[in-house]
């Protein structure tokens, strides 16, 4: 049963050794030194049976019973370097032999087992003070210092003796089945090793429990460990056993041969073997069996741990006839760890580092971090790339430089250059080896493994730089973080230790709902503090960001294209622009390149590239790959348009540069781009641009821009009209045969032109801000007559407009409609009593509009006198009669709108009467009708007037009396008969005030207006004006009104109201007035 697992282990070992053959290239861990050994003393001939340390001295028991007291020589300069010497030789300390020694520290005494039994001697004088009875021939003993209990094994019994300070008193005797070979106290029990097994025997009850079956080889050994554990040896294996006899760990230590004795000096257990000493870690954290030092000290007979010199061990050995004592000094743990790391055993090194005491936390942390990185490098070099990265990742102080150093091809030299010193420092500090960059598949794997870590570092760098991140806390926090990590790791239960060094301020803008906003925000990525950042200068950090980001794009390029690279460069990044461009360009990843350039505000370059991609991809040196392959043709244009729209108007030169090809390639998107820009682009610029590159889209732009309010109508309506005009004209030029034929022929034009024509018409008719004069100057005289007529109409040049309708367009119908339109507009305007006509109608004089028909007549008649090019002169007679006819038709149709006398006077004498007769007749009839109608209206008005007057009279009949019982409206004081005095005053303009409403004036104003008059009142009265209306001042001493009240007295109507409160206050008929006041 014992051998099968071993066999399995061997097989496994072989297998894994085979798998990892390349990993262990350095010397084996057996070369590792936990202790340095020096021979300090040679004793001739005798064998040293036992050795103990007391104070700074060594006590050695020789097999002939002699006790040696060994110490350092005195009176030499350096205390450490002093050689050791034998101070005293006590022959016959034991009569025949001495077996074991033990120092009783609390009583500074020495217990020794000799042929005489177990004796107690004082120290340092070595005088016998007590003897344990019945212990003669004891072959081993165990001393429990806390209880003062001695257990001595003599043959098949164990004697328990209590030491009371003077003597040993027998307590109990326990019978054994075999002779105990070794014995240790374990609580109340004794662990006793026999030849074939170990038992735990309770010291009171005597019950025995088997701990473990020891083997057939050698002596058993039992070691009491400070952690209330026993290390029990059986054959060549030592197991950890609790005081209850149960095996504690599944693990055990195995030695190359059964040890004859073991000692513990933290953290090692040293076993005494026949040809050497072996030191192994006693750590119970994880298996550390491999960690073993063989100390070549053959024939060891005794070993003891120094209580003074920390951790050092003294060994006695016998070689031939000569015995010697060696001093083993522990190498400091950190040095051991370093040495192990140098040997390539990083796990052991890390374990040792963990064992560094809390007092050396700083050293431990630093060591551990460096070891992780070294281990990572080591694993990486051994093709265990993922594990390697993970190890480096655990180290909080490892900057991305350390990672990237493994894959130098990811870091362009120019980007790395500013950080090279830092890297060198780091390499030197962690003693990082040169690692060959992997090739082929391994390289691919390495890149894909490094990428997440780079992104992780990136997140941390960003979080560190982000506002509100605990940058200032970082140094402190770094420490607490590492503590956290390591306390956590030391904690057996895996319970993390709460650290409160993390509280820090976060954004002040945190939502009000956040209950614990004082705490660290979860995503600030100081989850695992990367301590390297706080130690770096800001400049270096930014270099580092650049390096990381550049490496990320290089790494992503090497991976399958999942679109992540594109997304990466589309977001804000610190990629080195020159390098990034070079890398992406040479990979043909133009889409990513464009995004990168855009992200770095290199719009011109980005757009140039897009132009090449969309218009002429064959000119690119490297064929487009990835998303860029789809950018040929329109998609490229769309991308460019989108980019320009996003850039907005701040980069006008770039816009000017690229608008041309975009507008050319896809005017619709180009136009949308110009319209979508926010803040919107100045319409002047757009119009200029469109006029230059895509004139056909100018109108469309302006229409949309005005609709959306980007362009103001007052600024661009004329511009738009001009554009319509141009468009309409372009059609005219393209179809010369249609051009001269007037408006009807335009219908046959291309849809664009007819649309432009229509829009121009609408614009002229309805546009509020069209500059008609300007348009008129550019409208040709030969084409677009209708437009011209419209313009003239809007300018109020009706004669000219009518001429065009009548003579050039030969369309009396239109001319008449024109007149009707104007007439009705005018009439409607008057009727509705609207505001003055719209601005554009301002040129139309009111009289002229009434006489539009007269004007039309004049135009008709002009044809005779002047003749027009399109009228044949020979047919003048016919035309004359024709125009008369027209005039008369007009007259009869519109007789109600034409002033007959004016019309008649216009008609030339040769017009036959019969032609005019119908008009005259109907005119007379109409006039008579009008006269009668007006008479009726007049009568009605008069009746209305009278009615109104009557109503007014009724209304004015109100008559309020002021009696002495009434109170003042303001001070509520009864007016009484003495409360006020009346003063008759007179105002020259009193009639005016009275009519326009006295209440509208403030008392002050009124006073000012009458006061000057008051002085000349009598003269006014004499003039007789006072008989009509008088103004009264009512002085009621009201404090609210300094000036008192004013009342107006109409002699005729007798109505008075306080001008302030409107309450009728006083009504004095003249008869009431005291006579002395009446003039």
Partner 1 sequence: MAARKRTLLKVIILGDSGVGKTSLMNQYVNKKFSSQYKATIGADFLTKEVQVEDRSVTMQIWDTAGQERFQSLGVAFYRGADCCVLVYDVNAQKTFENLETWRDEFLIQANPNDPDNFPFVVLGNKVDFEGGKNRQVVEKRAKQWCAQKGGIPYFETSAKEDINVDAAFQCIAKNALKNETEEEMYIPDTVDMNAQSAPKRRTGCC
Is beta strand 277-281 parallel, antiparallel or unpaired with respect to 292-295?
antiparallel
Per-residue mark of binding to partner 1, 660-679 (x: CB under 8 A): --------------------
d(CA 432, CA 346): 13
CB closer to partner 1, 12 vs 195: 12
CB closer to partner 1, 151 vs 454: 454
Residues 372-391 that bind partner 1 (CB under 8 A): 386-387, 390-391
Q: Which stretch binds partner 1 (CB under 8 A): 459-467, 651-659, 733-741, 882-890?
A: 459-467
Please report how close the Cβ of residue 611 comes to partner 1 at its closest, in angstroms: 28
| Token pair in block for residue 130 | 């007590």
d(CA 162, CA 143): 10
Please report how close the Cβ of residue 273 comes to partner 1 at its closest, in angstroms: 13
On whether the CB atoms of residues 789 and 783 are closer than 8 A, the answer is no
User: Is position 312 an interface residue for partner 1 (rule: CB under 8 A)?
Assistant: no
| Sheet of strand 35-44: strand arrangement | 35-44, 322-330, 313-319, 300-305
CB closer to partner 1, 498 vs 901: 498
Residues 1011-1030 that bind partner 1 (CB under 8 A): none
Please report how close the Cβ of residue 406 comes to partner 1 at its closest, in angstroms: 16
CB closer to partner 1, 23 vs 542: 23
| Token pair in block for residue 984 | 């008759």
d(CA 779, CA 773): 10
Residues 463-502 that bind partner 1 (CB under 8 A): 463, 484-485, 488-489, 491-496, 498-499, 502
CB closer to partner 1, 16 vs 953: 16
**# residues near partner 1 by CB under 8 A:** 88
CB closer to partner 1, 15 vs 943: 15
User: Is position 519 an interface residue for partner 1 (rule: CB under 8 A)?
Assistant: yes
Please report how close the Cβ of residue 7 comes to partner 1 at its closest, in angstroms: 7
Phi (first) and psi of residue 857, to 5 degrees: -60, -45
Taking the CB of residue 761, how many other CB atoms lie within 10 A of it?
17
Half-sphere exposure of 391 (CA within 13 A, CB side): 21
CB closer to partner 1, 509 vs 1076: 509
Question: H or E element: which one contains 38?
Answer: strand 35-44
Q: Which stretch binds partner 1 (CB under 8 A): 258-266, 279-287, 580-588, 976-984?
A: 279-287
Q: Where do we find the tokens 């870091």?
A: 411
User: Is position 516 an interface residue for partner 1 (rule: CB under 8 A)?
Assistant: yes
User: Is position 227 an interface residue for partner 1 (rule: CB under 8 A)?
Assistant: no
Please report how close the Cβ of residue 28 comes to partner 1 at its closest, in angstroms: 6
CB closer to partner 1, 382 vs 840: 382
| Token pair in block for residue 535 | 């130690």
Length of the chain: 1079
Coil, strand or helix: which one is 467? coil
Coil, strand or helix: which one is 315? strand
CB closer to partner 1, 237 vs 962: 237
On whether the CB atoms of residues 725 and 779 are closer than 8 A, the answer is yes
Binder to partner 1 among 40, 69, 179, 287 (CB under 8 A)? 287
Residues 721-780 that bind partner 1 (CB under 8 A): none
DSSP labels for 874-919? TTHHHHHHHHHHHHHHHHHHTGGGS-HHHHHHHS-TTS-HHHHHHH
Binder to partner 1 among 393, 470, 636, 739 (CB under 8 A)? 393
Per-residue mark of binding to partner 1, 237-276 (x: CB under 8 A): ------------xxxx-x-x--------------------
User: Is position 234 an interface residue for partner 1 (rule: CB under 8 A)?
Assistant: no
Please report how close the Cβ of residue 397 comes to partner 1 at its closest, in angstroms: 13
Binder to partner 1 among 224, 528, 743, 983 (CB under 8 A)? 528
- Residues with Cβ within 8 Å of 630's Cβ and at least 6 positions away in sequence, in order, are none
Per-residue mark of binding to partner 1, 340-359 (x: CB under 8 A): -----x-x------------
User: Is position 657 an interface residue for partner 1 (rule: CB under 8 A)?
Assistant: no
Q: Which stretch binds partner 1 (CB under 8 A): 521-529, 609-617, 724-732, 863-871?
A: 521-529
Please report how close the Cβ of residue 366 comes to partner 1 at its closest, in angstroms: 17
Binder to partner 1 among 309, 394, 755, 969 (CB under 8 A)? 394
For 427, 767, 968, 974, 1044, the CA distances from 965, given in Å and listed in that order, are 114, 70, 10, 6, 19
On whether the CB atoms of residues 699 and 723 are closer than 8 A, the answer is yes
User: Is position 451 an interface residue for partner 1 (rule: CB under 8 A)?
Assistant: yes
Binder to partner 1 among 2, 3, 4, 847 (CB under 8 A)? 4
Residues 12-51 that bind partner 1 (CB under 8 A): 12-13, 15-17, 19-20, 24, 28-30
Please report how close the Cβ of residue 186 comes to partner 1 at its closest, in angstroms: 23
Residue among 39, 38, 50 at smallest CA distance from 301: 50
CB closer to partner 1, 453 vs 1068: 453
Rounded (10°) angle between helices 361-381 and 474-490: 80
Binder to partner 1 among 301, 411, 524, 879 (CB under 8 A)? 524
Phi (first) and psi of residue 1007, to 5 degrees: -60, -45
Q: Which stretch binds partner 1 (CB under 8 A): 445-453, 678-686, 771-779, 824-832?
A: 445-453
Please report how close the Cβ of residue 387 comes to partner 1 at its closest, in angstroms: 6
Residues 827-886 that bind partner 1 (CB under 8 A): none
- Residues with Cβ within 8 Å of 967's Cβ and at least 6 positions away in sequence, in order, are 973, 974, 975
On whether the CB atoms of residues 1048 and 1056 are closer than 8 A, the answer is yes
Please report how close the Cβ of residue 490 comes to partner 1 at its closest, in angstroms: 8
Q: Is the peptide bond before 482 cis (omega within 30 degrees of 0)?
A: no
Please report how close the Cβ of residue 574 comes to partner 1 at its closest, in angstroms: 13
d(CA 620, CA 192): 88
On whether the CB atoms of residues 28 and 344 are closer than 8 A, the answer is no
Residue among 106, 130, 126, 108 at smallest CA distance from 118: 130
Residues 556-595 that bind partner 1 (CB under 8 A): 559-560, 562-564, 567
Residues 898-927 that bind partner 1 (CB under 8 A): none
CB closer to partner 1, 488 vs 633: 488
| Token pair in block for residue 583 | 């890398």
Binder to partner 1 among 25, 38, 205, 289 (CB under 8 A)? 289
CB closer to partner 1, 166 vs 250: 250
| Sheet of strand 128-131: strand arrangement | 98-104, 109-114, 117-122, 128-131
Please report how close the Cβ of residue 560 comes to partner 1 at its closest, in angstroms: 7
For 136, 554, 563, 905, the CA distances from 560, given in Å and listed in that order, are 85, 12, 9, 98
Strand partners, 192: 183, 199
DSSP labels for 370-419? HHHHHHHHHHHHTT-HHHHHHHHHH-TT--HHHHHTT-GGGS-HHHHGGG
User: Is position 236 an interface residue for partner 1 (rule: CB under 8 A)?
Assistant: no
Please report how close the Cβ of residue 447 comes to partner 1 at its closest, in angstroms: 9
């Amino acid at each position: 049963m014992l051998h099968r697992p071993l066999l399995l282990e061997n097989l496994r070992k072989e297998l894994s050794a085979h798998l990892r053959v390349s990993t262990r290239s350095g010397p084996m861990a057996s070369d590792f030194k936990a202790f340095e050994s020096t021979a300090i003393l040679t004793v001739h001939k005798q064998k040293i049976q036992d050795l103990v340390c007391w104070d700074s001295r060594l006590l050695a028991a020789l097999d002939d019973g002699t006790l040696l007291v060994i110490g350092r020589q005195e009176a030499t300069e350096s205390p450490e370097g002093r050689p050791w010497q034998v101070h005293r030789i006590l022959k016959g300390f034991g009569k025949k032999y001495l077996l074991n020694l033990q120092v009783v520290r609390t009583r500074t005494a020495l217990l020794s087992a000799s042929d005489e039994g177990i004796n107690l001697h004082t120290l340092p004088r070595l005088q016998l003070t007590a003897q344990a009875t019945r212990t003669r021939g004891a072959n081993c003993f165990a001393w429990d210092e806390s209880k003062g209990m001695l257990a001595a094994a003599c043959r098949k019994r164990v004697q328990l003796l209590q030491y009371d300070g003077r003597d040993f008193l027998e307590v109990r005797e326990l019978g054994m089945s075999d002779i105990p070979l070794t014995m240790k106290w374990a609580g109340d029990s004794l662990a006793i090793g026999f030849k074939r097994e170990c038992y735990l025997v309770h010291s009171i009850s005597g019950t025995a429990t088997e701990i473990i079956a020891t083997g057939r080889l050698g002596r058993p050994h039992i070691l009491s460990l400070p952690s209330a554990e026993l290390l029990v040896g059986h054959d060549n294996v030592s197991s950890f056993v609790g005081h209850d006899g149960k095996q504690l760990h599944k693990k055990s230590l195995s030695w190359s041969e059964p040890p004859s004795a073991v000692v513990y000096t933290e953290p090692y257990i040293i076993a005494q073997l026949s040809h050497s000493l072996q030191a192994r870690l006693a750590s119970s954290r994880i298996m550390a069996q491999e960690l073993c030092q063989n100390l070549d000290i053959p024939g060891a007979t005794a070993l003891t741990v120094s209580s003074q010199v920390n951790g050092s061990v003294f060994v006695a050995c016998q070689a031939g006839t000569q015995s010697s004592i060696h001093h083993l000094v522990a190498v400091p743990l950190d040095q051991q760890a370093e040495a192990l790391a140098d040997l390539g055993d990083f796990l052991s090194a890390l374990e040792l580092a963990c064992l560094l005491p809390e007092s050396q936390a700083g050293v431990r942390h630093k060591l551990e971090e460096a070891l992780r990185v070294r281990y990572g490098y080591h694993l990486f070099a051994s093709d265990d790339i993922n594990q390697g990265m993970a190890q480096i990742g655990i180290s909080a102080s490892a900057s991305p430089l350390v990672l990237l150093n493994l894959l130098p091809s990811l870091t362009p030299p120019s980007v790395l250059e500013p950080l090279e010193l830092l890297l060198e420092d780091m390499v030197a500090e962690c003693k990082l080896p040169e690692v060959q960059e992997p090739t082929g598949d391994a390289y691919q794997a390495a890149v894909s493994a490094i990428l997440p870590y780079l992104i992780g570092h990136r997140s941390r760098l960003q979080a560190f730089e982000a506002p509100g991140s605990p940058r200032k806390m970082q140094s402190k926090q770094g420490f607490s973080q590492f503590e956290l990590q390591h306390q956590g790791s030391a904690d057996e239960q895996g319970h993390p230790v709460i650290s409160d060094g993390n509280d820090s301020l976060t954004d002040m803008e945190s939502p009000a709902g956040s209950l614990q906003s004082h705490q660290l925000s979860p995503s600030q990525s100081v989850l695992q503090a990367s301590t390297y950042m706080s130690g770096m200068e800001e400049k270096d950090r930014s270099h580092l960001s650049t390096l990381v980001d550049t490496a990320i794009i290089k790494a992503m390029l090497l991976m399958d294209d999942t679109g992540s690279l594109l997304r990466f460069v589309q977001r804000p990044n610190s990629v080195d622009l020159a390098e990034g461009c070079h890398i992406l360009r040479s990979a043909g990843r133009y889409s990513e390149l464009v995004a990168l350039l855009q992200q770095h505000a290199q719009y011109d370059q980005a757009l140039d590239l897009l132009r090449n991609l969309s218009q002429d991809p064959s000119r690119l040196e490297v064929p487009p790959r990835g998303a860029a392959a789809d950018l040929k043709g329109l998609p490229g244009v769309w991308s460019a348009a989108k980019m320009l729209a996003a850039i907005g108007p701040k980069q006008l030169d770039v816009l000017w540069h690229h608008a041309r090809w975009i507008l050319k390639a896809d005017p619709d998107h180009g136009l949308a781009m110009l319209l979508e820009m926010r803040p919107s682009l100045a319409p002047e610029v757009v119009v200029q641009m469109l006029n230059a590159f895509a004139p056909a889209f100018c109108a469309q732009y302006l229409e949309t821009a005005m609709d959306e309010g980007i362009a103001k109508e007052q600024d661009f309506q004329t511009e738009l009209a001009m554009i319509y005009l141009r468009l309409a004209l372009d059609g005219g030029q393209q179809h010369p045969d249609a051009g001269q034929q007037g408006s009807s022929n335009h219908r046959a034009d291309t849809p664009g032109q007819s649309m432009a024509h229509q829009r121009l018409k609408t614009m002229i008719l309805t546009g509020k801000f069209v500059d008609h004069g300007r348009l008129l100057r550019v409208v040709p005289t030969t084409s677009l007559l209708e437009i011209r007529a419209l313009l003239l109409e809007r300018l109020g040049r009706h004669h000219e407009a009518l001429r065009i309708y009548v003579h050039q367009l030969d369309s009396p119908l239109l001319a008449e409609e024109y007149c009707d339109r104007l007439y009705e507009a005018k009439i409607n305007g008057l009727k509705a009593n609207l505001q003055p006509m719209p601005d554009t109608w301002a040129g139309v004089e009111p009289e002229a509009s009434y006489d539009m028909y007269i004007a039309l007549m004049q135009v008709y008649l002009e044809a005779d006198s002047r003749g027009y090019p399109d009228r044949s002169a020979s047919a003048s007679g016919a035309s004359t009669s024709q125009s008369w006819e027209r005039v008369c038709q007009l007259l009869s149709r519109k007789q109600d709108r034409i002033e007959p006398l004016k019309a008649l006077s216009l008609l030339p004498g040769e017009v036959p009467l019969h032609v005019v007769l119908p008009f005259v007749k109907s005119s007379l009839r109409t006039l008579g009708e009008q006269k009668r109608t007006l008479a009726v209206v007049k009568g009605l008005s008069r009746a209305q007037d009278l009615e109104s007057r009557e109503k007014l009279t009724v209304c004015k009949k109100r008559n309020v009396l002021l009696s002495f019982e009434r109170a003042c409206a303001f001070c509520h004081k009864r007016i009484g008969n003495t409360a006020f005095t009346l003063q008759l005053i007179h105002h020259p303009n009193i009639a005016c005030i009275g009519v326009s409403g006295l209440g509208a004036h403030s008392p002050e104003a009124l006073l000012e207006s009458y006061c000057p008059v008051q002085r000349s009142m009598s003269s006014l009265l004499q003039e007789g004006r006072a008989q009509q209306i008088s103004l009264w001042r009512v002085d009621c001493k009201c404090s609210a009104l300094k000036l008192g009240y004013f009342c107006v007295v109409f002699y005729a109507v007798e109505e008075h109201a306080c001008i302030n409160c409107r309450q009728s206050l006083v009504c004095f008929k003249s008869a009431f007035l005291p006579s002395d006041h009446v003039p």
